[in-house]
Amino acid sequence: MGYINSFGVYQTFYETNQLSNMTPSDISWIGSLQNFFIFFSGLFGGTLFDRYGANIIRPAAVAFVLSIMMTSLCKEYWHFMLAQGLLGGVSNGLIMSPSMAATSQYFSKKRGAAMGLAIAGSSVGAVVFPIALVKMLHGNGDQLGFGWAVRVCGFIVLGLLIWPCVAIKARLPPRKSNFLLLSALKDPTYVIIITSTFLLFLGFFTPLFYLPSYAMQHGMGADLASYLLSILNGASFAGRIIPGILADKVGRFNMLAAAGISSGILTLCWTLCTTNATMIIFAVLYGFCSGAIVSGFTVSLAFCADEPKNIGTYMGMGMAIASVAMLVGPPINGTLLSHYQRFEEMAVFSGVMCLSGGFIVFAAKWTSGKGLLAAL
């Protein structure tokens, strides 16, 4: 996921290079398709993990590296859609879902902290890859060019994926029942958490796609604007760990609600940031709060599972349904940007979606029967 979160650098680069004839909304479909398939493929990745263990990770890792290498050769819009959007998304999703499900199987009381730590690793990559890409693409006279810049990232990812292919194991015996657990959709708490995640996904990825473009429009240099993603993702590292630890004490649902509401408020205030200093502060604050969403929704979906051996399927089904929001969210925002030629309407839409996703979590607490004030 760390590499995937650097798409904002690609978005900015494509707008002025290979895809300069396309609108920002058109280009954002590449990242949207990628994010959609990351989470939609969880429908299969999580269930396959519950049934067959971690074996699914190895072929997926090979496919993900292949997608990066193929992206380095892309010239046309449809090339990027297939290599970076489709293949990159599906393969990454088949790595992510089993990894998260395996972590959940090994922890119960401290599950929030454990999953926060596991997911925080992607923030480290999301700090390193944007900086590396900017240096390789925009270096002072020593650029590698697009092809080799992307291939270098591919070789780094190849080295990093060797460890999970060897180390990740399922703790519980395989589940032998139906491939999907449609009975889970009869649980109102689970359905509401999925709805909350859907609304959050509509809004909270917007700064990851458009913050560099916004900063450059307000006078920030291209290098520093690209570093905003690294700053945001660096803050997200803390945002995935600290709220994850607190979630075990104050409640998983409570932390998800707080993360969604705070991210929504910050997004509504985004366009008030017009100087380098205020945009950097926004990146830090938003990175922390949105990081809590990433760790919060996964642990909340896992919390809804009726048995530990079903966690992968519960997470996969929930992420697959919510992934539709990731497919349409950034293009909707791109259309708003193209139509109004400013960022205010896009920020309002995304902020309202995050606020709605945060507040609806309280309905999940109410349907659980433990009360709105419970540490749930």
User: Which tokens in the block code for residue 56?
Assistant: 């699914």
For 289-338, the pLDDT digits (tens) are: 988 898 888 888 888 887 777 777 888 888 888 888 888 887 788 888 88
Angle between helices 42-52 and 311-340 (to 10 degrees): 170
The contacts of residue 154 (CB under 8 Å, 6+ apart) are 65, 68, 69, 72
CA distance 38 to 93: 4
pLDDT at 257: 93
Residue % of the chain over a pLDDT of 70: 95
pLDDT at 139: 61
CA distance 219 to 214: 9
Give the predicted TM-score (pTM) of the model: 0.81
* 55 within 8 A of 7, measured Cβ to Cβ: no
Burial of 275 from C-beta contacts in 10 A (0-12 / 13-18 / 19+): exposed
CA distance 127 to 121: 10
Q: Is the pLDDT of residue 35 over 80?
A: yes
CATH number of 4-367: 1.20.1250.20
Query: What is the rounded radius of gyration, in angstroms, for the C-alpha atoms of the chain?
Result: 19
Name the DSSP class of 86: I
How many angstroms separate the Cα of 181 from the Cα of each of 186, 188, 288, 310? 10, 14, 34, 8
